[in-house]
Amino acid sequence: EFNVSFRLFVDELSLVMVSVITGVGFLIHWYATGYMSEEEGYSRFFCYMNLFVFAMLMLVMGDNLLLLFLGWEGVGLCSYLLIGFFHKVPEFGYAARKAFVVTRVGDTFLIIALFLLFREVGSLEIQAGLLFARESMSDASTLNTIICLLLLGGAVGKSAQVPLQTWLPDAMAGPTPVSALIHAATMVTAGVYLIARMQDFFMLSQTAMLCVAAVGLITLFIASFTALVQSDIKRVLAYSTMSQIGYMFFALGVGAWSAGLFHLMTHAFFKALLFLASGSVILAMHHEQNMFKMGGLWKKLPIPFIAMLVGSAALVALPLTSGFFSKDAILLKAWKSDTDFATLFWTVAVIAAFLTSLYTVRMMVLTFFGKPQSEMHELKKESLWHPSRIRTVVPFGLLAVLSIAGGWMGFEITGGLFGDEGVHPELHFDPIALLTLGIPFAGVVTGYFLFASDLIDRRTLIKNKLSDLLSKFWGSGWGFDWVYDTLIVKPFRFVAQTRTNRNDIVDLFFKLIKFLASLFHHILSMFQTGHVRWYAFTMVGGLLLVFLAVVWI
């Protein structure tokens, strides 16, 4: 019997997610009141934003998988509406459609997983399913592995992981507060939450756990290289998000459940800060997003500069920042994991951490240092306490504090969230943790010599065919869009545009409706002659029929 209740479920995991969604979401909303004040569709924008937050809250608090799925589809719909908010620009509409279609591929896997779960468990209640997994499923269950891989397919689409990651960079078409909300507090974290919520199923399948770790590791590796050659500041942050979500998947895959959710929380703080600060830079530069057309802004935009500096320090994982505590916990857990590939996984994750430092330094140097490459918008000199400044400074300040102190706060919040040993400050005194401590510093120093100093002639590094080829390959997102366009989009368009497809059997139903409508129109029009005597005759005839019907009854 299919019976689904409408109930909300609150536990430690959902409370962590709700705190991140509402806390960071509120600060993004506050910032957006100023950012969007001169844009057309101001009310429509906040209607979509609030619906977005509502859908995400339903997703993380739903007591059953059907409610979770409603929230899941809700955030997909809202992302489409917000990415295509400036719908009069064709490119933005295409980006919104692309995000909607690509994530639907992952949603298909999730739907199949729900069908299988209902068939086996007899209920879509999450707690009933987890209890069933603990008591009735074996470690070697093939069906459980299939269900977990289908759940992973859904998570991959929503969280923009390989191979369904192509929609996320194009999602930068939306207003900057939308990018901040999608990347920090809502949509891309949904896949991480889904895997964490269904922990008991994944723990029974080593194959599924290995796949989760591999997907995260491949994504963070690819995204780190791609971010290194981007010129658009928002696309750099987009690929940065992709790689950081990859760290979360990687953590879950190696069994570092608490560390993965810890990084989800800290990432929300510093990524929201980075996006909002970049939004202020973009506004000041007449909506210019090309970093090569910026430069020399640190004196002219001191508050956004400080905000991006703090956010970048947390992204790089410099000591005492929130990113340091959570990312180091993931690397240490990966090193100590039971998987046969622990050393390989750890090595790739460390290389990606080094690349993160490189592209972050490059972003800061191109945006804020060097010579100005274009004229900046004339800024009004307003008091720090002016309402328009408060709407910017307060979110920046609070997110900056959380980007630093959030690491210490996370020990208490996510310490033993999943019944594992949790994340504790003592972890960072482990020899392996001390070894990885030098990675962000090495990346920052290397980035300085590559992008900020004149000690290395950068032209000798990039002016060759191999560098040019790699730059184009990485810049295109490793060719995923080209592959999908060649193998799927173009063949589908060809089939859709051929004459043979015009007589599709599915169209017969709609043609029948058209024929019947035309037939009834023709019959009824026969009675519209324009002669008064005919209308009088039909009125008398109608009254006579009514009279006879009443007498007969």
The 10s digit of each residue's pLDDT in 214-243 is: 999 999 999 999 999 998 999 999 999 999
- CA separation for the pair 496, 502 (Å, rounded): 8
What pLDDT, on the 0 to 100 scale, is given for residue 146? 94
Query: What is the mean predicted confidence (pLDDT) over 330-337?
Result: 87
What pLDDT, on the 0 to 100 scale, is given for residue 502? 61
What pLDDT, on the 0 to 100 scale, is given for residue 542? 86
Q: What is the pTM of this model?
A: 0.86
What pLDDT, on the 0 to 100 scale, is given for residue 457? 67
Please give the mean pLDDT across all residues of the chain: 86
What pLDDT, on the 0 to 100 scale, is given for residue 80? 93
What pLDDT, on the 0 to 100 scale, is given for residue 220? 93
Query: What is the mean predicted confidence (pLDDT) over 256-269?
Result: 91
Amino acid at 123: S
CA distances from 253 to 140, 195, 216, 387, 550 (A): 17, 9, 8, 46, 76
Query: What is the mean predicted confidence (pLDDT) over 503-518?
Result: 80
Question: Is residue 57 pLDDT above 80, yes or no?
Answer: yes
Taking the mean position of all CA atoms in its chain, how far away is CA 170? 11
Q: Which of 144-153, 335-344, 507-516, 543-552 has the highest mean pLDDT?
A: 144-153
What pLDDT, on the 0 to 100 scale, is given for residue 415? 57
- Per-residue DSSP letters for 293-305? G----TTTSHHHH
* DSSP-assigned beta bridge partners for residue 62: 8
**Could you state, in order of their start, the residue ranges of all structural domains in the chain?**
12-456, 503-552
CB 181 within 8 A of CB 170: no
Taking the mean position of all CA atoms in its chain, how far away is CA 212? 17
